Structure 1
Amino acid sequence: MKKISNFLLAILFSGFLQAQENSGLNLSINHIALSVKNADRSAEFYKTVMLLPEITNRTKIEGIRWVALADGRELHLISILKEPVTINKAVHLGLTSNDFDGVLKRLTDLKIPYSDWPGKPNTFTNRADGVKQLYFQDSDGYWIEVNSVNDKTIVVEQTKNEVWQMEENYWKYVKANDLKSYLSLWDEQFIGYPGNNIITGKDHITDWIVLMYKENSGKYSYVLDKKAVNVLAIS
């Protein structure tokens, strides 16, 4: 059963990711736009402080500047609309870096005030999941968060926790004979060995649970000990 459990866990995790990728309208962020008072001043801030490269403003409209974020995303700085914008900390630009300490040092060297989420100066928030967060404002007063989500060590730990949680849910549903919840763990395109030597799809993935409870008169117990969780690669 242990070998079957490990095999099922690997399929479960890959199926979960596939389900996430195939859900919804496959929307992703292309750009973020900020209404600024002076596009030139704002662009200078993001180029100088954040070291973001300027890219071509393909609208060709005066009063608009574009800078590039990572992964092909863009930040558009627009000064042609003059309506006032209400700004508070909850509305912020959330950026991540794999060099959080480098960001911290740069803000300190440039004497740019930063704080944690509650607003304590010159410190940062340590989130419950280990992610670091700091906050500061740009030349128009917009709040910017920089966090350490891209830190590979943190990502690995988060992935370990997610995988282990799926393992716990797997056996919890088996023990409760909760076939509906158990089925929800699996991708619709699942093909594998759910508990015997026969390749099957999701429509027969609970057969082994039904058979087990039938043979054991509705009794089943288990002990799940967390010995180790390893993540082989993070892309």
Structure 2
Amino acid sequence: MIPVESIHHISLNVKDLERSKAFYSTIIGLKEIERPPFDFPGAWFGIGEGGQQLHLIVYDGETLREGGIDSRDGHFALRVRSYKESIAWLDQHGIQYDARPKARAGFPQIYVIDPDRNVVELNAEVCDLE
């Protein structure tokens, strides 16, 4: 068995780095962190307080994603403090989402897609809509 301690980072392919940086900083609320001087463009973001990271990598290849939001597609999930506040924020910024306040998973979920059609799940411990 491999003694896994935690997830360190998630890497996503993006086509327009500035557009993706704006989405992950302004809409999702992640803070950009220092990135080593690789020989290809990209950006790193810190996630929460546990040291996890999101790495954006500029990639000109093809992806499989063509349709809308699909929760069964490959995605990553971020735990949010408030389901209600997250919905309000997405509405305020005109971001399309699939809200599942009573999800079968046992916790409320919101699915969004980033500008490069990567699926992101936002979930909360409880549904605080009322």
- In the alignment, the residues of structure 1 paired with residue 3 and residue 46 of structure 2 have an alpha-carbon distance, to the nearest angstrom, of 25
Q: TM-score, normalising length from structure 2? A: 0.81
1:197-216 equivalences under 5 Å are none
1:138 aligns with 2:114: yes
Gaps of 5+ in 2: none
- In the alignment, the residues of structure 2 paired with residue 142 and residue 128 of structure 1 have an alpha-carbon distance, to the nearest angstrom, of 22
1:63-142 equivalences under 5 Å are 63-70=41-48, 71-79=50-58, 81-87=59-65, 89=70, 90-115=73-98, 123-128=99-104, 130-142=106-118
Q: Which has the higher contact order (CA 8 A, sep 6+)?
A: 2
Q: Aligned to 2:85, what secondary structure does the other structure show?
A: helix
TM-fit CA distance, 1:24: 3.7
- In the alignment, the residues of structure 2 paired with residue 57 and residue 76 of structure 1 have an alpha-carbon distance, to the nearest angstrom, of 9
In structure 2, relative to structure 1, the CA distance for the partners of 1:129 and 1:63 (3 Å cut) is closer
Runs of at least 4 residues off by over 4 Å: none
- In the alignment, the residues of structure 2 paired with residue 43 and residue 129 of structure 1 have an alpha-carbon distance, to the nearest angstrom, of 30
TM-fit CA distance, 1:27: 4.2
- In the alignment, the residues of structure 2 paired with residue 45 and residue 141 of structure 1 have an alpha-carbon distance, to the nearest angstrom, of 12
- In the alignment, the residues of structure 2 paired with residue 66 and residue 26 of structure 1 have an alpha-carbon distance, to the nearest angstrom, of 22
TM-fit CA distance, 1:63: 1.2
The structure whose residues are more often helix, as a share, is: 1
1:28 aligns with 2:26: no
- In the alignment, the residues of structure 1 paired with residue 101 and residue 84 of structure 2 have an alpha-carbon distance, to the nearest angstrom, of 13
Gaps of 5+ in 1: 1-22, 116-122, 152-235
TM-fit CA distance, 1:59: 4.0
Give the match for residue 24 of structure 2.
46
User: Residue type matched to 1:51 in 2?
Assistant: G
Indicate if the aligned counterparts of 1:40 and 1:65 stay in contact, CA closer than 8 A. no
Larger radius of gyration: 1
TM-fit CA distance, 1:127: 2.3
The CA deviation string for residues 117-168 of structure 1, in whole angstroms up to 9 with x for no partner, is: xxxxxx424124641011111111111111113x5xxxxxxxxxxxxxxxxx
